[in-house]
Structure 1
């Protein structure tokens, strides 16, 4: 196993080259990979094995694998993998800053709209167009360090309200203006499930401490965020937007351009990510695992909080 230098001189992320299936049986290799994951937050596996069995076995080094909460995107016959598809027939088309993109997903943390968010995932692109399709990453440990002292103090002890609302999850994207051109077919079924209460609102801390290192993490997912517990709607929205401007500054993001066989692991408790999308008409298919491991800080809202949330967010 060859560990390469930091990615593009970023303060997060590294490359591991030439990892093979037999390497996964070596306890020292597994320990080293786990330590890199905690330290760097993002690992790109390149020029090694990458078939589905290896993809799943590698993911299992970092924790138990879970079945994703959104059943509509599971890979048939392999419920430990989800399929993320951009194609002319089945994917949404979104106009992003005036440019149409299929398969675009804004800055988010996976499953932040549930009480127990997964710890990470490994993504592989199994069908990639010749242009576009990058995946963006932002480190929320580094983002917390960039916050002014007064803003750090303001964030302490606060919780963000999240909810999966498939047709309303883009309100805190300061550098992206979005317009839905075409909605994916599965979105209608997902919206119906959400309307019937399948995804009740939850709260997660705005800042938490990475247990292994003591480093503080800014825990904000611009997608799916709706407000701050206990703050009036306008005040909470202003704070989220202020943080989102710092967090999603494109100058600090890393965009991964996919090479054949790449597997990318990220720490979902720490990293934001986004799918930049592809040209409408192009095909892009990704397979991704979900690594379990609740950080035990998310919770459902109380009855009083739910009532307050409904009065200032849902109306």
Structure 2
């Protein structure tokens, strides 16, 4: 018999429903929206090590579509338990080798199932200690991830908070003329990792380094180009969201360079308004699960001599529409 992959092993070893001590009672779980915040809900009473009922997973999926972030407190998991829990919500994101992403491995051309988002663990560290600007994960791929889970193992004493931005609310707050104009536009987000590979370097800690923020037509195209809607429709709720990050190289399809770059700059300023933002103060044992289709996230810097280790699992998504 062949050896199992990490994900297959996680599901193979997962708690069984017929063992009462390993099964979570759905009535123990409550979901409470974060008070006075632009997005997010806290989930209380859930033990991610336990087998979960269909009722619970359906409730959580509904809550994620509504609130865009779910915060699970006081978790204690190894990597296999973490993978088993995440797999309730979808397949693990595995991009093709021709579309490098954070933590892409040289031997396989794909990232590991569990990515250390860290400055602390030696080989395999990713993202360092600097600021990370607002972005959606894997936006430059043909099939961007639908969501990610981030699990706090070690935290610095200062800094390192993560903020999320509600791009559904950002879209809804636009005036009608702007909405009408941008609804039919397509946006290409260029892969920052290809730019740095071509330069035989690695991305700086903001994720994008010296990449331009808009590609004018007289500039070379670096990497593959996948047009996606600038305004995408959420596949579960049907709500519309701006599908635009704040710093990486983008291009509007079939738009004049000057008009396009000015529009993108205006929309980026709009997304960053405080009324669309929630900042999470991490505590050890937190798992934050976010919908990558309708949010951006960023990170505050923290001292380089302080350890920070979180583990991310990303889930596969479909083609934006």
Q: TM-score, normalised by structure 2?
A: 0.74
Contact 1:88 1:282 in 2 (8 A): no
Determine the C-alpha separation between the residues in 1 that align with 2:178 and 2:237: 22
Cα–Cα, structure 1 residues 187 and 73, in superposed 2: closer, same or farther, change >3 Å?
farther
Determine the C-alpha separation between the residues in 1 that align with 2:131 and 2:231: 27
> Structure 1, residues 259-287: CA drift from partner, whole Å, max 9, x if none?
11000000111111112221232221221
Give the match's secondary structure for 2:112: strand
- RMSD of equivalent CA atoms: 3.2
Contact 1:86 1:277 in 2 (8 A): no
Match of 2:101 in 1: 70
Which of 50, 74, 78 in structure 2 is aligned with 1:47?
74
Worse overlay, 260-269 or 40-49: 40-49
Is 1:133 the counterpart of 2:160 in the alignment?
A: yes
Cα–Cα, structure 1 residues 22 and 289, in superposed 2: closer, same or farther, change >3 Å?
closer
Contact 1:114 1:199 in 2 (8 A): no
Match of 1:82 in 2: 115
Determine the C-alpha separation between the residues in 1 that align with 2:234 and 2:162: 24
Determine the C-alpha separation between the residues in 1 that align with 2:159 and 2:275: 18
Give the match's secondary structure for 1:200: coil
Contact 2:116 2:312 in 1 (8 A): yes
Match of 1:209 in 2: 233
Structure with the higher fraction of residues in helix conformation? 1
- What are the within-5 Å matches in structure 2 for residues 241-252 of structure 1? 241-252=265-276
Determine the C-alpha separation between the residues in 2 that align with 1:265 and 1:50: 15
Q: TM-score, normalised by structure 1?
A: 0.75
Contact 2:38 2:277 in 1 (8 A): no
Cα–Cα, structure 1 residues 91 and 84, in superposed 2: closer, same or farther, change >3 Å?
closer
TM superposition shift of 1:3: 2.6
Cα–Cα, structure 1 residues 107 and 233, in superposed 2: closer, same or farther, change >3 Å?
same
Match of 2:184 in 1: 157
TM superposition shift of 1:92: 6.8
Give the match's secondary structure for 2:90: coil
TM superposition shift of 1:148: 1.3
Structure with the higher fraction of residues in strand conformation? 1
Which of 32, 41, 51 in structure 1 is aligned with 2:59?
32
Q: Where does the alignment leave 5 or more consecutive residues of structure 2 unmatched?
A: 1-27, 197-202, 210-220
TM superposition shift of 1:210: 1.8
Contact 1:13 1:40 in 2 (8 A): yes
TM superposition shift of 1:26: 1.1
Determine the C-alpha separation between the residues in 2 that align with 1:203 and 1:104: 28
- What are the within-5 Å matches in structure 2 for residues 1-12 of structure 1? 1-12=28-39
> Structure 1, residues 135-183: CA drift from partner, whole Å, max 9, x if none?
11011111111111121112110011211135989xxxxxxxxxxxx94
Determine the C-alpha separation between the residues in 2 that align with 1:73 and 1:277: 23
Give the match's secondary structure for 1:61: helix
TM superposition shift of 1:57: 1.7
Is 1:124 the counterpart of 2:151 in the alignment?
A: yes
Match of 1:290 in 2: 314
Worse overlay, 148-157 or 42-51: 42-51
Give the match's secondary structure for 1:125: strand
- What are the within-5 Å matches in structure 2 for residues 4-23 of structure 1? 4-21=31-48, 23=50
> Structure 1, residues 166-222: CA drift from partner, whole Å, max 9, x if none?
5989xxxxxxxxxxxx947x999xxxxxxxx99412211011222322211111122
